[in-house]
Structure 1
Amino acid sequence: MTHPTLQPLFVLLEQAEQARDDIVAQQARAEQAHAAAQAQQAQLHGYRQDYQQRWRQQFAQGVAIALANCYHDFAGRLDGVVEMQSEQVTRAAQAIEQLRERRLAAELRVASVRKLIERREALMRAQGERREQKGADELASRAAWQRLQQGNVFDMA
């Protein structure tokens, strides 16, 4: 059973652990989103390379100017999409780093509250031991005093 004065600290510890767990869950989701963005980026790079390779072969055989303009327009849009996806990967990585920093701060808070609880418990144990020692000392003193008094009573008789 915990001492009632420690109850607020245990509530604080529970809240700190919940906040940390929430951040850990957010970080896991951010890491999944980052992995998905990287996978999509790899697919886009692969598609762009395939597209460019196919059109190199077409250009080697000769194509109409209108078809070449279509290729360049689509290739430009594809490059834009690849660039946007790269930015998405970068933002996802930054989100992970921010959540990592928040998680470390939350873990530090949990550890600090636990340490505070440990210190308070140790202080309460020490105070209890001092009270017990004081009580034992008083009891021994009374017993000695009583023996002394009883010895004086026998001397007077």
Structure 2
Amino acid sequence: MSALHTLLAQAEAERDQARAALRRAEEQLTRLRAQAEQLHAYRSEYQQRWGGQFARGGAIEIVHCYQSFMQRLDEALVQQRQQSEAAAALAERQRAVLLATEMRVASVRKLLERRQIELRRVQDRREQRHNDETAQQLHRRHTSSNH
């Protein structure tokens, strides 16, 4: 039984680690998505602010700087999206690991419960056997003393 208790403690520790890893992965995903939203909002704001000015005309050097910066913002958005997708995939893998560890804990607990039930049955049978033997001995004594 102590081996099962040790196995249960180990399974629970693994489950707790998986739960913490999932929490970290989800926090990272939330941060990355927030950063992507901020970057997208900044890009939109920048485009509105400067795009309108260039529609009315402007120095070619400034237009090139604007286009170059917008290209870098677009590249940053792509990179941020890739990081968010990778973080989402990691969170999904961590969720699967957590589910597997929770199932293992449940299995070990069920096995432990079955073993405890079986031990109780064995103990109950021993007690019943002992009670039966005691009753027989008392009955024999009672019948032998009456004769």
Instruction: Give TM-score, length-normalised by structure 1.
Output: 0.89
Aligned sequence identity (%): 44
Shift of 1:65: 2.0
Q: Distance in 2 between matches of 1:57 and 1:135?
A: 97
Tell me, what secondary structure is at the counterpart of 2:58? coil
Residue in structure 1 matched with residue 8 of structure 2 by the alignment = 13
Shift of 1:100: 0.7
Residue in structure 2 matched with residue 75 of structure 1 by the alignment = 70
Q: Distance in 2 between matches of 1:72 and 1:27?
A: 40
Task: Choose which of 41, 49, 56 in structure 1 pairs with 2:36.
Answer: 41
Task: Choose which of 11, 16, 21 in structure 2 pairs with 1:26.
Answer: 21
Task: Choose which of 129, 135, 146 in structure 2 pairs with 1:140.
Answer: 135
Count how many residue pairs are aligned between Structure 1 and Structure 2: 147
The structure that has the greater radius of gyration is 1
Instruction: Give TM-score, length-normalised by structure 2.
Output: 0.95
Which sections of structure 2, spanning at least 5 residues, go unmatched? none
Q: Distance in 2 between matches of 1:75 and 1:56?
A: 10
Shift of 1:89: 0.9
Shift of 1:77: 1.2
Which sections of structure 1, spanning at least 5 residues, go unmatched? 1-5, 153-157
Shift of 1:31: 1.0
Q: Distance in 2 between matches of 1:132 and 1:19?
A: 39
* 1:122 matched to 2:96: no
- Structure 1 ranges of 4+ moved more than 6 A: none
Tell me, what secondary structure is at the counterpart of 1:146? helix
Shift of 1:148: 2.5
* 1:101 matched to 2:96: yes
Residue in structure 1 matched with residue 51 of structure 2 by the alignment = 56
Counterpart of 2:10, as a letter, is: Q
